[in-house]
Amino acid sequence: MNKRHIKTVFTTILSCTVFFSCAGSPSVQQAAGPAEVIEAAPKTYVNGSEREFWNTSTSGGDLIIVGVGGIYLYERESIQKALEDAAKKVSLFTGIRGATVYYEHIGTSFWDYVVADRTKIEYNENYHGYIEQLEYDPDRDIIINERGAFVRVRYKHSDPLHVVYPSSGSETERPEWVTNPPVSIGGFIAGVGYGRPQMYSHGAYAASYETAIANLISRGATSIEGKNLQQQGERYNYDDVRENTITASALISGFYVLQVWVDPKDGGVYSLVIAQSVKGL
């Protein structure tokens, strides 16, 4: 079993999800707000707590989203990237179509063992038009630190979201949902994703919610294929080899990042997410 074969398996299976249509997509326009306001934004925590900044529970109906951007030469550009990430999350809320593949190869020796997985996510990529619809207070809703630029925004949606989930843990203690991930919250499907520390720390945030998406997709219609093979060993002996492939595809609506926690020890990022529905394909 070689890497080329594994790549072929993934490519063949994931090709089942090739199109996703988003009716009523916004026009592609970018608007980051007045430059003089953005440049003057303070670098403080909302209510003095980063933990509260990341709790996007909402009872007022609006989507509350934290966009994440990297650190750039100009502060304005960093905030613009955070707004683009927030707009992408609005797009993810409107609908996601995806597929996951998990592959396992078990040979006869200790070293003959391969595990690999891959996820393909499709959504409306014309999300930049949402930027001009995002609302935020430059005096309270911006954080810029060594991990990146973060902008907390509100987005008014025609189908208001009502979900409240209390904060738990602290900046240094793991929340309960990290150690004991919930399967549902307030009637919504729940999941947890993890993003490993990366060279550019803001990338771990995206990885965490993408992992959470894969977690939700895995709850869709799943097929399991197992094979028992034989490969020639030494001389005339034949060794048994097992291969297992698990695939899942689903349509997700109402995907929403509810809370985020950053491990202070290594910078790994955990995301608690919910979805209104996950339908297997």
Query: Which amino acid does the sequence have at 151?
Result: V
- Neighbour tally for 150: CB within 10 Å: 28
Which of 23 and 209 is assigned the larger pLDDT? 209
Mean pLDDT of the chain: 78
185, β-bridge pairs: 188
pLDDT of 84? 96
pLDDT at 203: 87
Which letter does DSSP use for residue 125 in this model?
-
pLDDT surpassing 60 at residue 195: yes
**What φ, ψ does residue 176 adopt, rounded to 5°?**
-60, -35
Residues 25-38 pLDDT 10s? 443 333 333 333 33
Rounded Cα gap, residues 179 and 169, in angstroms: 11
Q: How far apart are CA 250 and CA 231, in angstroms?
A: 35
Lowest mean pLDDT across 91-105, 129-143, 173-187, 223-237:
223-237
Residues 207-253 pLDDT 10s: 999 999 999 998 876 776 666 655 545 555 555 677 888 888 999 99
Residue 30: the pLDDT is: 35
Reply yes or no on whether the pLDDT at 184 is more than 80: yes
Higher confidence at residue 57 or residue 118? 118
Please say whether the beta carbons of 79 and 86 come within 8 A: no
> Is pLDDT of 13 > 90?
no
Tokens standing for residue 274: 């919910």
At 201 the pLDDT is 73
Domain boundaries, the chain: 3-18+30-280
- pLDDT higher than threshold 50 for residue 88: yes
- CA pair distance 4, 2, nearest whole angstrom: 5
Q: What is the rounded (10 degree) CA torsion for 152, 156, 160, 162?
A: 20
Instruction: Report the alpha-carbon distance of residue 94 to residue 163 in Å, rounded.
Output: 17
**pLDDT the model gives residue 197:** 87
Residue 41 has pLDDT above 90, yes or no: no
User: Which residues, at least 6 apart from 151, have a Cβ–Cβ distance to it below 8 Å?
Assistant: 66, 67, 69, 79, 82, 83, 86, 136, 141, 142
Q: What is the pLDDT of residues 120-137, one digit of tens each?
A: 999 999 999 999 999 999
Tell me which residue has tokens 């020639």.
Answer: 232
Helices then strands (H, E): number in the chain? 6, 14
Cβ proximity of 250 and 216 under 8 Å: yes
Condensed to tens digits (0 to 9), the pLDDT of residues 46-65 reads 444 566 788 887 766 789 99
% of the chain exceeding 70 in pLDDT: 72
Cα 239 to Cα 188: distance, rounded to the nearest angstrom: 47
Q: Parallel, antiparallel, or unpaired for β 148-155 and 63-69?
A: antiparallel
pTM of the model: 0.76
Tell me how long the chain is.
281
